[in-house]
Amino acid sequence: MAAVSLSQPPGFLKLLSHPLRWQLLKILAHTDLTVQELVQLLDQPQNLVSYHLKLLRKQSILRERRSLADGRMIYYSLDLDQVRVLYAASGEALHPALGPRELGEPVLPRRPVRVLFLCTHNSARSQMAEAILRARSKGQIEVFSAGTEPTRVHPLAMQVMAEMNIEFSHHRSKSLKEYLGQNFEYIITVCDRARESCPAFPGDPVRIHWSFPDPAGVEGSESERLRAFRETAIQLNTRINYLLISIQRNQASNPA
């Protein structure tokens, strides 16, 4: 028999093995939430939930960001790419063939899906999210965006979308009022103010929150401001790739 180098299980697998931490990851893989909301969903003491969140942060797979709407609230979000890296590295520790692989192109939805992105001004985050999802889904998802206090499409959002070769010329800033009463499968808020004032929609859509800072609020040189828009677009693109995979799998498990 070939010699085998024995070792301890990767720390990341130990981290996943705890039932409460697993539930935290499952929830935060879907949407960004505050610790109070996690406590309510899990029906566990706040000090216990906070303790396990701290352990997850030490692995750099959780991010925390103070709400721009209510500064007393902190949103937790899961870095899915970092989870993939650590999970793949754990597999490679068992066998090289189980090591990292590129994230494949997401399979497109089998049935029509309507998605609405919401933020405050509908000038940057929700506009870029709308354009990216439309491009990544090759137009097979009906995607819209709106703002609770719409203004105008930000020029740097236009520039970043042009750099990504994503069609953006017909975008305009739209009011949430244009979409009230319409049916959507997914309502995705990309700013804290919009999430904390989002009205109800018919049909019980899936609600998701992505807690992004507003790149339009970044001060500094033109290059620094442009960098903020590029970083936001990159993060949106990552989340949207995972969203497409999730939509496709939900449809496969719930055929019409």
User: 79 and 170 share a domain?
Assistant: no
Catalytic one among 15, 28, 119, 216? 119
User: 134 and 240 share a domain?
Assistant: yes
Return the pLDDT at 31: 95
Return the pLDDT at 140: 84
Return the pLDDT at 169: 86
User: 178 and 210 share a domain?
Assistant: yes
User: 238 and 117 share a domain?
Assistant: yes
Domain that holds residue 62: 11-98
Domain assignment present for 1: no
Q: How far apart are CA 208 and CA 184, in angstroms?
A: 12
Domain assignment present for 104: no
Mean pLDDT, range 192-199, rounded to an integer: 89
Does residue 114 have a pLDDT over 70? yes
Catalytic one among 89, 93, 198, 218? 198
The CATH number of whichever domain residue 64 belongs to comes to 1.10.10.10
Catalytic one among 38, 188, 190, 191? 191
Q: What's this model's pTM, rounded to 2 decimal places?
A: 0.85
- How many distinct structural domains can be found in the chain? 2
Is 198 among the residues known to form the active site?
yes
Distances from the Cα of 186 to the Cα of 93, 119, 123, 195, 243, angstroms: 38, 14, 20, 13, 10
Is 191 among the residues known to form the active site?
yes
Domain assignment present for 172: yes
pLDDT digits (tens, 9 = 90+) for 61-82: 999 999 888 888 899 999 988 8
User: 87 and 132 share a domain?
Assistant: no
Return the pLDDT at 139: 78
Domain assignment present for 137: yes
The CATH number of whichever domain residue 221 belongs to comes to 3.40.50.2300
User: 73 and 186 share a domain?
Assistant: no
Q: At 138, is the pLDDT very low, low, confident or very high (cuts 50, 70, 90)?
A: confident
User: 85 and 121 share a domain?
Assistant: no
DSSP H helical segments within the chain, as ranges?
A: 11-17, 19-28, 35-42, 46-58, 80-94, 125-136, 155-163, 192-196, 222-253
Domain assignment present for 3: no
Q: How far apart are CA 131 and CA 159, in angstroms?
A: 13
Q: How far apart are CA 134 and CA 145, in angstroms?
A: 11
User: 117 and 62 share a domain?
Assistant: no
